[in-house]
């Protein structure tokens, strides 16, 4: 702090002068003869002053994140991400990667060997799935019932696929019959569906889809970014070939390392590719050597990229918390709190976007904004007064809905009551008559 104050005091537009002073007083300047020369060169090249905003302490307010993600990480997860860095090939870090792999296998309920965490957020995992599986000319069928189907269709077409879609109005899910018809008609080599459509708050049942796909020589790709840990999902049992998720929802870790897994059937398609995977960064052939999930046991891991060390620690702890709580308990906690939230919202006279109770996603609830109310005013009021985030709609629900997330560490009865109270207060503030049971 003292240093920062002094720096600012001596700083003048003649930056080079200041820098020269700094270099002269630095220990480097007395080491060897070339040091002063280097300092001269650097100071003359730098034409912009250090940004003033970086000369003040980092400020991060505490907020309760009850939107569709990220959700707040638990103190245990945050503490893990502050642990000392290790080298990305140090044996201790490789051990942690193995633990992450085991945790993902548990969370996904799979024995797939090719299971790892992609460096990046949920989009990175989606991109990794597509870029490894799709080759130019492949027919891919995408189920679109919200934003995430649209995103996947976009990624597939960027990779040269012939993209076909089946669609449902926002707020509804697909029946097995819809899917069977689509697959038999379009004859795709891969079918994408989003398990938890967070833009609409819709849960897509998955039982039976794998059988339809496999009976038609088609792989099943599922997005579980917003659903994993909040609703039943069993990769092997449900015949899912490629499954990915994110760290910042139920797993309650910061975004940055995203679980993904490939079935032996999906690996077969990868092995039969005619063309190299077009992305070096997401090439599963290379990543599997770094994660030690494609090699014979005992063979050395190969450097591919520098893993996001702190994000991997945090994900490890998020997965450890899930393992300690138990998958079934975690799912039922999410289901119970979602039911409380749904009931509370309806008691206030609000309408849920998804009409069919069984199609409601427990992790993200979409609430229709009443006539004459501006969603943003309400969300801002709640943020300013309570430091709680609730979000607006996304895609087709944009401007018409709020999205309330109850995920991971945040999924508690206290938070349900807190957000209901805050919403009631905000609505009353903006002149809405709220049916009161709270």
Ligand X SMILES: Cc1ncc(COP(=O)(O)O)c(C=O)c1O
**Binding residue per annotation — 403?**
yes
Q: Is 255 in the site for ligand X (CB under 6 A)?
A: yes
What's the min distance (Å) between Cβ of 253 and ligand X? Answer: 11
The correct pick among 194, 212, 423, 427 for binding ligand X (CB under 6 A) is 194
The correct pick among 212, 213, 226, 427 for binding ligand X (CB under 6 A) is 226
The C-alpha R_g of the chain, in whole angstroms, comes to 25
Q: Is 123 in the site for ligand X (CB under 6 A)?
A: yes
Beta-strand pair 388-389/64-65: parallel
Task: Specify whether the CB–CB gap between 312 and 117 falls below 8 A.
Answer: yes
What's the min distance (Å) between Cβ of 324 and ligand X? Answer: 24
Query: How many Å separate Cα 116 from the centre of its chain?
Result: 15
Closer by beta carbon to ligand X, 190 or else 226:
226
The residues in 400-419 that bind ligand X, with binding defined as CB under 6 A, are none
- With contacts defined by CB under 6 A, name the span among 54-62, 110-118, 120-128, 346-354 that binds ligand X: 120-128
Phi and psi at residue 372, to the nearest 5°? 80, 0
**What are the CB-based long-range contacts (under 8 Å, 24+) for 367-376?**
367/401, 367/402, 367/403, 367/404, 368/400, 368/401, 369/399, 369/400, 369/401, 369/402, 370/427, 370/432, 373/427, 373/430, 373/432, 374/430, 375/399, 375/400, 375/401, 375/402
Task: Specify whether the CB–CB gap between 145 and 168 falls below 8 A.
Answer: yes
Q: Is 68 in the site for ligand X (CB under 6 A)?
A: yes
What's the min distance (Å) between Cβ of 397 and ligand X? Answer: 13
- With contacts defined by CB under 6 A, name the span among 71-79, 106-114, 175-183, 222-230 that binds ligand X: 222-230
Q: Is 148 in the site for ligand X (CB under 6 A)?
A: yes
User: For residue 409, which of 365, 366, 363, 342 has the smallest C-alpha distance?
Assistant: 363
DSSP letter at 301?
Answer: P
- With contacts defined by CB under 6 A, name the span among 13-21, 118-126, 324-332, 428-436 that binds ligand X: 118-126
Give the residue at shortest CB distance from ligand X.
122
- With contacts defined by CB under 6 A, name the span among 190-198, 210-218, 290-298, 319-327 that binds ligand X: 190-198
What's the min distance (Å) between Cβ of 196 and ligand X? Answer: 6
- With contacts defined by CB under 6 A, name the span among 161-169, 220-228, 268-276, 303-311 that binds ligand X: 220-228
The correct pick among 103, 182, 196, 292 for binding ligand X (CB under 6 A) is 196
Q: Is 171 in the site for ligand X (CB under 6 A)?
A: no
Reply yes or no: is the peptide bond before residue 189 cis, omega within 30 of 0: no
Burial class of residue 306 (count of CB atoms within 10 Å of its CB; 0-12, 13-18, 19+): exposed
The correct pick among 67, 103, 122, 229 for binding ligand X (CB under 6 A) is 122
What's the min distance (Å) between Cβ of 245 and ligand X? Answer: 9
Q: Is 228 in the site for ligand X (CB under 6 A)?
A: no
Closer by beta carbon to ligand X, 255 or else 292:
255
Number of shown-chain residues binding ligand X (CB under 6 A): 15
Beta-strand pair 190-194/139-144: parallel
Closer by beta carbon to ligand X, 71 or else 110:
71
3-state secondary structure of 212: helix
Angle among Cα 265, 267, 272 to the nearest 5 degrees reads 100
Q: Is 225 in the site for ligand X (CB under 6 A)?
A: yes
Task: Output b/e per residue, 274-296; b: 16+ Cβ within 10 A.
Answer: eeebeeebbbbbbbbbbbbbbee
Structure tokens at 118: 């992609």
Q: CA 33 to CA 270: how far, in whole Å?
A: 56
Structure tokens at 214: 């496999």
The correct pick among 67, 69, 210, 229 for binding ligand X (CB under 6 A) is 69
The correct pick among 72, 115, 172, 198 for binding ligand X (CB under 6 A) is 198
Question: Which residues of this chain interact with ligand X, rule CB under 6 A?
Answer: 68-69, 121-123, 126, 148, 194, 196, 198, 223, 225-226, 246, 255
Instruction: Point out the annotated binding site for substrate.
Output: 403
């Amino acid at each position: 702090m003292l240093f920062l104050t002094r720096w600012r005091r001596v700083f003048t537009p003649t930056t080079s002068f200041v820098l020269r002073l700094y270099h002269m007083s630095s220990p480097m300047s007395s080491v060897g003869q070339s040091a002063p020369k280097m300092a001269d060169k650097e100071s003359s090249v730098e034409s912009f002053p250090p940004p003033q905003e970086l000369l003040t302490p980092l400020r991060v307010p505490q907020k309760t994140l009850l939107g569709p993600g990220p959700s707040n990480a638990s103190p245990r997860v945050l503490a893990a991400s502050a642990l000392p860095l290790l080298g990305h090939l140090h044996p201790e870090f490789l051990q942690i990667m193995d633990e992450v792999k085991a945790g993902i296998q548990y969370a996904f309920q799979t024995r797939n060997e090719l299971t790892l965490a992609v460096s990046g957020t949920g989009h990175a995992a989606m991109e990794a799935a597509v870029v490894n599986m799709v080759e130019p000319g492949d027919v891919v069928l995408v189920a679109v019932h919200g934003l995430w189907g649209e995103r996947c269709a976009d990624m597939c077409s960027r990779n040269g696929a012939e993209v076909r879609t089946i669609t449902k109005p926002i707020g509804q899910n697909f029946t097995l019959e819809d899917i069977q018809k689509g697959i038999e008609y379009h004859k795709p080599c891969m079918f994408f569906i989003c398990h938890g459509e967070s833009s609409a708050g819709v849960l897509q049942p998955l039982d039976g889809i794998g059988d339809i796909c496999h009976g038609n020589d088609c792989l099943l790709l599922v997005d579980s970014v917003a659903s994993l840990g909040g609703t039943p999902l069993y990769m092997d049992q449900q015949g899912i070939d490629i499954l990915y998720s994110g760290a910042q929802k139920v797993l309650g870790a910061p975004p940055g390392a995203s679980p993904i897994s490939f079935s032996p059937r999906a690996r077969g398609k990868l092995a039969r590719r005619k063309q190299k995977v077009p992305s070096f960064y997401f090439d599963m052939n290379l990543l599997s050597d770094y994660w030690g999930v494609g090699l014979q046991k005992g063979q050395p891991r190969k450097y591919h990229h520098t893993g996001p060390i702190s994000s991997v620690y945090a994900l490890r702890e998020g997965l450890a918390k899930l393992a300690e709580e138990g998958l079934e308990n975690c799912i039922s906690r999410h289901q119970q709190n979602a039911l409380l939230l749904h009931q509370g919202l309806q008691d206030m006279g609000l309408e849920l976007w998804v009409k069919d109770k069984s199609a409601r996603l427990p992790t993200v609830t979409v609430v229709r904004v009443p006539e004459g109310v501006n969603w943003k005013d309400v969300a801002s009021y709640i943020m300013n007064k309570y430091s709680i985030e609730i979000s607006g709609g996304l895609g087709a629900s944009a401007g018409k809905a709020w999205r309330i997330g109850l995920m991971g560490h945040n999924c508690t009865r206290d938070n349900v009551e807190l957000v209901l109270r805050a919403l009631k207060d905000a609505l009353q503030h903006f002149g809405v008559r709220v049916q009161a049971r709270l």
